[in-house]
Amino acid sequence: MDTFTASQKVLNDVILNIEKVIIGKRAAVELIVLALISGGHVLIEDIPGVGKTTLVSALARSVSCGFKRIQFTPDIMPSDVTGFSVYNQKTGEFEFRPGAAMSNFLLADEINRASAKTQSSLLEIMEEKQVTVDSVTYKLDEPFMVLATQNPIEYLGTYPLPEAQIDRFLIKISLGYPSVEEEIRVVVQGKNQKDSLEPVASAGEILMARGEASKVYVSELVVKYIINVTAATRTHADVTLGSSPRGSIALYGLCQAFALYQGRDYVIPDDVKFMAPYALPHRLILKSEAKVNKKTQLQVIEEILRKIPVPVLKRLSSIK
């Protein structure tokens, strides 16, 4: 089996394993795995009790890597996340005590209940994949991924995330309520399946898939299409702050991972149209008038996708 096919199998194996626990949420499961292959971080926003933490735990259990969880509360300190130095009287030296970030998967549970100072401690971790304590830098092991959950901002005791931090999340997703049939399955078998979930992929296999995704061909026309979509968010009438170039990079990588998942070694414009609603909306800040009129970031992206001309690709030699 070649590495491309093996990488595609890794994606499918992880997705199917997670679905033993997360029932009826195929799109969310696929997106979180694609984010892992893209090397990005995920923000899951929804009301309590719909399976946000369970989804993250299922992903961590599906890959044989380190996993740490930190429950964010107003009294959590930045050092709880990054780690801290302690003076050892026997050796006369400072010793580093790692924080929750020193793992492959970091679950930042209810991240918007922490203070802005603690939330900001994740900025270097998410962008550089390293922590700096007392002027000493510690690289994090790959694959590394922050998976944050949060309740809607209207909930009591929550604080908005800084724009710089929101922009560092590759995608933002919601789960929503299950159907009656799905909820019956969750009640009957969900907990038992979660306790027995076993890893189906190694860190090396995830990195192999990540490497294969990065090789997926993206034509110049598709790259320009990605740039045109993100650039349009900066001039939209309802937007105060549009997507930064980081949004273009995120969309580019997601499209490569999605193409790999679909069994293609090239990206098509439809990949961009499919992924943009997950990679871009959370990066936008709407004007007050738009909010009053109940306009959403997703609606803005959908409008842009309807207006931007879709490129027509020439037939590639690799397309059968």
Cα separation values, 284 from 93, 163, 185, 223, 236, Å? 47, 9, 37, 21, 10
Q: What is the pLDDT of residue 158?
A: 76
Helix (H, G, I), strand (E, B) or coil at 62: helix
Residue with tokens 């996708």: 305
Question: In 3D, which of 50, 61, 157, 173 has the Cα closest to residue 111?
Answer: 157
Give the DSSP H or E segment for 150. Answer: strand 145-150
pLDDT beyond 50 at 317: no
Residue partners of 109: CB distance under 8 A and separation at least 6: 53, 69, 70, 71, 72, 148, 149
pLDDT beyond 70 at 96: yes
User: Highest-confidence range of 45-49, 153-157, 294-298, by mean pLDDT?
Assistant: 294-298
Mean pLDDT of 32-61: 92
The percentage of the chain sitting over the pLDDT mark of 70, rounded to a whole number, equals: 94
Range of weakest confidence among 20-34, 58-72, 188-202, 251-265: 188-202
Across the chain, what does the average pLDDT equal? 90
The percentage of the chain sitting over the pLDDT mark of 90, rounded to a whole number, equals: 61
Residue partners of 186: CB distance under 8 A and separation at least 6: 23, 51, 178
Q: How far apart are CA 229 and CA 33, in angstroms?
A: 24
pLDDT beyond 50 at 23: yes
pLDDT beyond 80 at 155: no
**Are both 3-206 and 216-307 of the same fold?**
no
Residue partners of 46: CB distance under 8 A and separation at least 6: 52, 149, 151, 152, 174, 175, 176
CATH 1.10.8.80 for the 216-307 domain, yes or no: yes
pLDDT tens digits for range 218-237? 999 999 999 999 999 999 99
Tell me the β-bridge partners of 83.
98
Q: How far apart are CA 245 and CA 227, in angstroms?
A: 8
pLDDT beyond 80 at 156: no
Tell me the β-bridge partners of 71.
109
Angle at CA 215, nearest 5°, toward 212 and 221? 140
pLDDT beyond 60 at 166: yes
Q: What is the pLDDT of residue 47?
A: 85
Helix (H, G, I), strand (E, B) or coil at 241: strand
- At residue 121 the predicted structure's pLDDT band, cuts being 50, 70 and 90, is confident
Q: What is the pLDDT of residue 142?
A: 92
**N-to-C CA span, the chain:** 20
Range of weakest confidence among 95-104, 168-177, 259-268: 95-104
Instruction: Name the CATH topology of 3-206.
Output: Rossmann fold (3.40.50)
Domain ranges of the chain: 3-206, 216-307
pLDDT beyond 70 at 55: yes
Question: In 3D, which of 161, 135, 159, 145 has the Cα closest to residue 104?
Answer: 145
Mean pLDDT of 79-101: 85
